[in-house]
Structure 1
């Protein structure tokens, strides 16, 4: 029999399980977002960029034939991955590896592939395409999330619940009104996302150090054609904007701005799920819990808010990424340095993959949230007597009582009731004390009506209606086409 040390030392080798598996891809992210950051999407877009460049160059008079362009179009999805890797290893250059892989299947087009371009032509522009497509996916999921949350808020807009400030009992609010606080953050995120999508520029056709010198040479000094080339390539790739000037790369400040938007979404998610975790402890509201789900391997009775905790965990990660983008941008010397490359390969995909999971989790939570009205009411009624004392005081004064004397009596009764609750662990008996005090005889027969929770929720129902009508419905109307799109989500929520 092997010893424990021998067991620990003799590790087995299983070819497909002896390499690191990224949890964002293996466990969490949707197939849609994983595809946006996949090698297929990346290198197919490189080829699209080469086709767009050749097309624009032909239109502007360079010696590029239709046959060459059609050959590239026909072979765009014929990627010899092994050959590309061999060439990359040989050249120690990923772009040239794929230039040769494309040229292998497009021998007629090989002489004009990448004509006049630098590596950042395909690299940076593809990054922007991936960012745009990822932003569009996040927007779609946020819109669908708002639709679900609006229905939840409307359903529970009149359900009185105890409000908290400093996590101490405060005045009443409603379950639906509290939901609008979460939604308001997300509405702001959608607005920021819209601005980011609208303003996102391509790098365009800028040349090796951003001077467009090579293209100026190709077009025999014709500045107008160089400008037209840049505009046409961007148009072919679906962009109406491009950065006015660049070094070799587009300014890395764009990365920071994009990640700041994703950080905003994550902040909203953390706030919402933090509240849900606290409410789950109070047994007032709980996230969905599957019939066979196990909350704890030891404590079988537990219903841990695992989805909300996962959301907070991932949100904390995304919120930290803008700082890395900021440092990367600030450290770019002159026209560019390569210390931006490795970190961007990590933080850009991971920021979107994590945000994708976060928004999907929020949708899942909101769509199946359990509300326990009786627990909520019990907590409301345990605190409401204290809050109702002002109503009782005013009613007694209107019946001819002395405001100062009654105020002092209420203070004394409140302190005594508080001692019963805290010192003896018993129910709040403030109302019974008031009912037994002759000084409050004028309202003894209507005290119960004075402590109806609905009297203490202010304009909560109206605020919910107004918020949905004025802030949410316009978003849902503007993007009604997105609501009709089925999510291909397979996230392990």
Structure 2
């Protein structure tokens, strides 16, 4: 991504970006070469001292990023250049065994998997922190009555605590799926030139299993053209980021001047309007959610790899999947800021319900229907709403036998909402 003062505050995440920089990626590739040598020595393909020499050299060798970049310019991949320099550094008699039976994609896919794993560790911790914050805020606002909205219109009373719990609901599902997505995405890659392990036959599967153990990746068969594991990871990242976008959308609406029911994150000023207090944190989250969707569209189109190996679509993946991880990381950090600073204007929330009697129409309907039947109840409620006096007063005149104060008691809303809150978070705590 192009970086400047416009984009960095929103779209960048230095902690995750560092996991994909040139030095880190080169170290990961060299680590894979060392692990491959140890796996093959463990199979008895060459002496242990050869694997030790390759590993020790790989651990200490430094290859300048510009050298590897020149290799990509020449060969489309950096691995031939990296292997050439590693062999030269290892020297005789061990150099010939460097990169034995492997291909460039084996090294790059495994190295990127190590980087993805490190990034997912960060994202998993941030998601956990965010869910804990949401649960605390949900509990703190379990008795905060507010107007629910459906299809952008006032609906019935609910609680802010339940709204917050509903924000957490898709994120809890993502947390539950995290390990499965991670396991499937971070698979060992060892197929050789055409993905059939011919150069090391019949030992390919055993080498692959040992390499998986060395790198702590999921064992399995070569997946050069099967990008479904990474596609699943991308879909998970988008699911998280769009769930955060939902939170941002609600907060941005609730903080509108004419609503002013809840606020969160950083509020920004205007260059020309002193009265403005813009929901900049929520806006940034929405930008990130939309950018994540754009990245995923690119990844989806790049998922169609041709024949046994593909160069063009694979290259797109190098750019977009790390970008999507960075985007999700930035969104989680911003959402944590927003939710930690979340506040509610309780008086405004209750006042809005009190000044919109139609919001209690459903409650009144069900109370009346038990005595009058649904059609008659509908007419009575419609007549009461048309009156200039408060709804409870009008209903008391039309049907004095019902305890309307009890019917309109918010305690029922709070009790029902709290039960659902607990149910939502119980899926995380079990």
What do the CA deviations read for 1:370-422 (whole angstroms, capped 9, x no partner)? 11111111112112475168549958998xx99998975653342244xxxxx
What do the CA deviations read for 1:312-360 (whole angstroms, capped 9, x no partner)? 1111121233332232222x22112211133112211111010111111
Which stretch shifts more, 407-416 or 188-197? 407-416
Given candidates 431, 434, 437, the residue that maps to 2:394 is: 434
Distance apart, 1:233 and its partner CA = 0.8
Which stretch shifts more, 301-310 or 406-415? 406-415
Contact 1:29 1:357 in 2 (8 A): yes
**In 2: Cα distance, 1:135 partner to 1:364 partner:** 20
What do the CA deviations read for 1:161-213 (whole angstroms, capped 9, x no partner)? 11111121111110011111111111111223221113335243211001111
- 1:11-410 to structure 2, matched below 5 A, reads 20-21=2-3, 28-66=11-49, 69-70=52-53, 72-73=55-56, 76-81=59-64, 84-85=67-68, 88=71, 92=75, 93-108=77-92, 109-216=94-201, 223=202, 225-242=203-220, 244-246=221-223, 249-281=224-256, 282-289=259-266, 294-330=268-304, 332-384=305-357, 387=360, 391=364, 408=379, 410=381
What do the CA deviations read for 1:29-80 (whole angstroms, capped 9, x no partner)? 3333112222222111111111111111222222345266246425524413
Contact 2:188 2:208 in 1 (8 A): no
Distance apart, 1:113 and its partner CA = 2.0
Task: Say which one has the larger Rg.
Answer: 1
After TM superposition, the score normalised by the length of structure 1 is 0.77
Which stretch shifts more, 379-388 or 233-242? 379-388
**In 2: Cα distance, 1:288 partner to 1:89 partner:** 42
5+ residue gaps, structure 2, are none
**In 2: Cα distance, 1:342 partner to 1:314 partner:** 23
Report the secondary structure of 2:246's partner residue: helix
User: Aligned pairs, how many?
Assistant: 425
**Alpha-carbon distance change, 130 to 447 in structure 1, aligned in 2, over 3 angstroms:** same
**Alpha-carbon distance change, 25 to 126 in structure 1, aligned in 2, over 3 angstroms:** farther
5+ residue gaps, structure 1, are 1-18, 217-222, 418-428, 475-493
